[in-house]
Every structure is written in C-alpha cells, then in structure tokens.
Amino acid sequence: MPLDRHARRFLEMLAAAGKARGRYEDVEERRTALAHLADLVDPPGMVEIGGVREHLLPVHDGHISLRIYSPLGPPARQLPGMLFFHGGGWVAGSLDTHDGLCRRLSNETGCRIVAVDYRLAPLHPFPYGLADAWAALNYVAHNPKTFGIDPMRLGVAGDSAGGTLAAVLCRMARDAARDNPHAPHIAFQLLICPILDVHGESAARRELAEGYFLDSETLQRDLELYVPPGTELSDVRLSPLRAEEFAGLPPAFIHTAQFDPFSDEGEAYAQRLGGFGVPVHGRAHPGMIHYFYSMPRMIPYALEAVGIIGTEIRYVVDLPVKERRVHRRIRPELIRT
C-alpha cells in the first residue's frame, strides 16, 4: 500500500519547510522540535478525560513525575492500569508531548494510565531511564490503592524508545519473579512502533533511512547520547530483540507502521515472542509513518488506530469492548504490504 495521503502530505510539508535533517548538536534543539511537533499535531490538554493528577516519585538521585489519567465515565475506585513510557530517542519527549495520546489511550482502553517522566540522556544516560521505569513499575505495583489500580491488571506500554523500556521491563519483572514473590506482575505489554534492536541493521532501517520523518542520523545521534562508551549494543536492555529466549513474557500487543524504520523490529519481536508461546496480537498499520498515532490533527487515522488498541486492551483486562473487531496475529505479510 502507498503512503497514506495525509502522511504523504505531512512529509511533503516537512520537506518544503526545510526540516533540519540529520545530525543535531544541541539536544535542546531535538527536544524543542518534538515539543513543537506535539503542539502542531496533538496539543496537550485538549482531549476530555475523567481526571488528571500528578504524583512525585523519589528515585535514586532525584525525583520523577508521574501523571495519572483516569478515563471518562463514572468514577471507579479500582481500574486496570497501564504504565506509559513516551518516545523521543531517550533524549527528548515529555509528559506533555504524549499527553494527547495518553488521554486517548485512557479513554479507549478504560485503563488508569500512569505516564512516567523518566530521566533523559545525555544528563542521564543508559541505564538511568530504565532504572526510573523499573522504580515506577515497582512503586505502582506495590501501592495500587494510591493509584486506584488493580495490581493484577497492570500493563506496561510505550512508543518508540518508550517501547524499548516497556519491553525490557517485562523481561526484568519476569526474571525478578524467579527469586522474589513480590516482584511486580505485568499483565500485558503494549508496544507502539517500538525500537527493539539498536543495531539498526534491518531492511526497513536501510530503506526508510531518510525522508520518512525520523532520519537515521538523528537516531544515531540519539544513541550516541544515550549509550555510554563501552556498552554493548546487544545488551538486551537496549536491544531486547537480541535476547535468546522469550518464554514467560506477558501477552503482547505490537503495533507497527508500514513506513517506519522500526517496522521490521516489531515484526521480528512478535515472531520471537510467538515462537516461545507468548500470545501476540497487533497490527501493521498500512501506509503509516513513525509517530502517526500521535498526529491526529495531521493524520486522522491516528484516532482509528488508538481505537483498535483500545479494543485489544479491553479484551485482555476484561472490560466491555466499545466495538468488536477481528484481530489477527502479526504475520510478515501484514507488516510489509
């Protein structure tokens, strides 16, 4: 399928606008660009929601903010929950850049969403962000009443670089449970256009390296800032796709985009999980580009995609579905149509 016409138009406009391509020097430039993009395509605070509040969580060497979203509907003492980790190459992104997405995800999934403002590189390189994510997961899982969340229906979610964190948390929680009966239980993982192998050697990485919104040189610069020298890129905490076994990981919902450099990684991860008996659902969204799900003002299909995700998650957390859809396991032909 060709590029969605709205996505194509967005890429044309970016090209005509003289989008700064490639390598950036100043990380603030990268952060500002993502914040400006969010203002343009999905401004924060615009989606009606049941409630929003913030919580400050002490972590090693500091504090991080958690933003808790409650879905529209009658107030509930306890709801299924979902920790959300935003994308932005581990160097950019914020609670605000993904505020619209979190609001829609909360309404569509019926989950109370806890968005985590994990610390970013270069000031906090790997594994700081992951440690913050692990701290947030443990805190929410062990204090469910504080958040009004059912700890047995708590999932993790993330997009792009946040998807890496979510995927790795699942592995950490599974491994921790072998020795610790109080390790957090993760009921599901939702990975939206996740980065799952930082080696970046897939066909999609090569074929979509430039001109599809996220350029390879930008990604390379993100990685330079995030990964300290001497760290193995094949560390499964950076490249969970490189793990050798996947048994016992939580059910996965993996959403990829046809014209996303990370699409092959999502497909391969789905196959690896499925090969180890992990239930996998998801969709390869045809004609779409990276970050499409957060661009409803530019790419209307973003709303439909989040609706699809909402239906999937409602099934797994045992909430009434808004609309019944047929789900298919990810297959290669669905990814690269």
Partner 1 sequence: MSNARDRITAIACQLLVKRGIQAVPRGEDNLREAGLTSLDMVNLMLAVEAEFDIEIPQSAMTPDNFDTVAAIDSLVCVTLKAA
CB of 287 to partner 1, least distance (A): 16
Q: Classify 274 as helix, strand or coil.
A: helix
**86 assigned to active site:** no
- The type of residue at 251 is P
Q: What angle do helix axes 99-109 and 301-316 make, rounded to 10 degrees? A: 50
Contact map string, positions 27 to 46, toward partner 1, x by CB under 8 A:
-----xx--xx-xx------
Alpha-carbon 195 to chain mean position: 9
What is the end-to-end Cα distance of the chain in Å, rounded?
6
Q: Please check whether residue 254 is in contact with residue 319, taking contact to mean a CB–CB distance below 8 angstroms.
A: no
Minimum Å distance from CB 227 to partner 1? 27
Candidates 1, 2, 13, 62; binder of partner 1 (CB under 8 A) is: 13
| Interaction of residue 206 with partner 1, rule CB under 8 A | no
Please answer whether residues 118 and 89 qualify as being in contact, where contact means their C-beta atoms are separated by less than 8 angstroms.
no
12 binds partner 1 (CB under 8 A): yes
Taken in order 232, 235, 237, 241, the sign of the CA dihedral is: positive
By CB under 8 A, tell whether 10 contacts partner 1.
yes
Token duo for residue 301 = 């299909």
98 labelled catalytic? no
Binding segment (CB under 8 A) for partner 1, from list 11-19, 110-118, 161-169, 257-265: 11-19
Concerning whether 260 is annotated as a catalytic residue, the answer is: yes
Q: At what angle do helices 128-142 and 161-179 cross, to 10 degrees?
A: 60
* Catalytic option among 159, 215, 222, 260: 260
Query: How many residues contact partner 1, by CB under 8 A?
Result: 17
- Closest approach of partner 1 to the CB of residue 54, in Å: 25
Catalytic residue IDs: 160, 260, 290
Contact residues: partner 1, CB under 8 A: 9-10, 12-20, 32-33, 36-37, 39-40
